[in-house]
Amino acid sequence: MAEGTVGELADGFECPPGSAWMAMKTWASSADESADMIRVIGRQIGFTVTAKIHIYETEPTKPPGDKPHGYDIGFTPFDPAA
């Protein structure tokens, strides 16, 4: 999960512009690689990480691929003043 800002999102993703959490499951070789992936993939789809990234190691819900990848991406908007 990463805290950041939603801009104009790519097709297939929905969230109002502004502050939001981006959640993404990853197949990665390390926690550092997973954090890098959420920054890069986020930028590609219209999300900018501006603060914290939380990494949780869990059992996979999809089989591994040949390369690291992200899946099950979702957004939760929030009011930073609340």
Q: What is the mean pLDDT of the chain?
A: 93
- The whole-number pLDDT of residue 8 equals 96
- Residue 25 in any domain: the answer is yes
- Domain assignment present for residue 65? The answer is no
Mean pLDDT on 15-43? 95
* Residues of the domain holding 41: 1-6+17-59+70-82
Cβ atoms of 45 and 38 closer than 8 Å: no
Q: Round to whole Å and give the CA distance between 63 and 51.
A: 30
Q: Which residues pair with 66 in a beta bridge?
A: none
Contacts for 71 with CB less than 8 Å, ≥ 6 apart: 24, 25, 26, 27, 62
Number of domains in the chain: 1
pTM for the whole structure: 0.88
What CA–CA distance (Å, rounded) separates 79 from 42? 20
pLDDT in tens, 42-74: 999 999 999 999 999 888 777 777 888 899 999
| The pLDDT value given to residue 61 | 77
Q: Report the pLDDT value the prediction gives residue 82, as an integer from 0 to 100.
A: 79
